[in-house]
């Protein structure tokens, strides 16, 4: 018989215990949850900023187009009411010859000057409001022609306004001949 004491060698153990597995899974889970809480808002913020940039470009494009039109209708001697005149199709911007023709114009999805829908922007809307404003205070609308118009271009997506651009146009541009030909 062998009288040597029996020594257990715990270092030869193979595998991990169930408790170690549960603890390591919990640690990995906490790390992933923390990471997702940081990444989610970053992705959402990036999308919001991209939409605002697209909206600003759409508003700027339409504002620049409007600025190339005359202040008053070249076919009418007296100041005409705001909005598209007879012979101008309200949905066809190419027929607009003066600034106020754009009043109450809107398109969803946005359309190009040649009336081509920009299908990639479904759910987006561009709209325009033109108003006569007081010379002394451009924030105050006037019911009569003052020689100054405020053009407001609004771009929204899903009913949420993402960009608004206000510009002022003066009748003196027509008088001095500052008009860009179509």
Residue 63 located in a structural domain: yes
In-domain check, residue 4? no
- The three-point CA angle 54-118-48 to 5° equals 25
**Is there a domain that residue 145 lies in?**
yes
The residue segments making up the domain with residue 88 are: 42-176
Q: Residue 54 is encoded by which pair of tokens?
A: 């697209």
96 assigned to some structural domain: yes
pLDDT, residue 91, reads 66
171 found inside a domain:
yes
Tell whether 26 is covered by a domain. Answer: no
State residue 146's pLDDT score. 87
DSSP letter at 121? G
Q: Does some domain include residue 146?
A: yes
| pLDDT at residue 110, as a whole number | 84
**In 11-158, where do the E strands start and end?**
106-107, 124-132, 148-157
Residue with tokens 């390591």: 24
Stretches in the chain below the pLDDT threshold 70:
1-15, 74-81, 83-91, 114-115, 176-182
Q: Rounded to two decimals, what is the model's pTM?
A: 0.70
Residue 4 burial (CB < 10 Å; 0-12/13-18/19+)?
exposed
pLDDT tens-digit readout, 36-63:
777 777 777 778 888 999 999 999 999 9
* pLDDT computed for residue 56 by the predictor: 94
- Count of CB atoms within 10 A of residue 156's CB? 18
Contact 104, 83 (CB under 8 A): yes
Q: Count the domains in the chain.
A: 1
Q: What is the pLDDT of residue 23?
A: 86
Cβ atoms of 98 and 67 within 8 Å: the answer is no
Per the domain annotation, does 48 fall within a domain? yes
Say whether 165 sits in a helix, a strand or coil: strand
């Amino acid at each position: 018989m062998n009288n040597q004491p029996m020594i257990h060698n715990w270092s030869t153990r193979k595998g991990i215990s169930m408790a170690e597995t549960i603890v390591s899974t919990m640690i990995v889970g906490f790390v992933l949850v923390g990471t997702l809480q940081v990444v989610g808002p970053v992705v959402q913020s990036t999308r919001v900023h991209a939409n605002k940039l697209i909206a600003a470009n759409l508003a700027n494009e339409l504002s620049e187009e409007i600025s190339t039109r005359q202040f008053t209708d070249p076919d009418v001697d007296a100041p005409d009411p705001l909005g598209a005149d007879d012979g101008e199709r309200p949905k066809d911007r190419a027929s607009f010859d003066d600034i106020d023709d754009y009043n109450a114009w809107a398109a969803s999805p946005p359309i190009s000057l040649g009336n081509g829908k920009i299908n990639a922007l479904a759910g987006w809307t561009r709209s325009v409001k033109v108003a006569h404003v007081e010379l002394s205070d451009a924030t105050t609308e006037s019911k009569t022609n003052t020689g100054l118009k405020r053009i407001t271009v609004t771009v929204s997506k899903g009913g949420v306004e993402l960009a608004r651009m206000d510009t002022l146009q003066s009748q003196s541009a027509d008088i001095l001949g500052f008009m860009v030909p179509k």
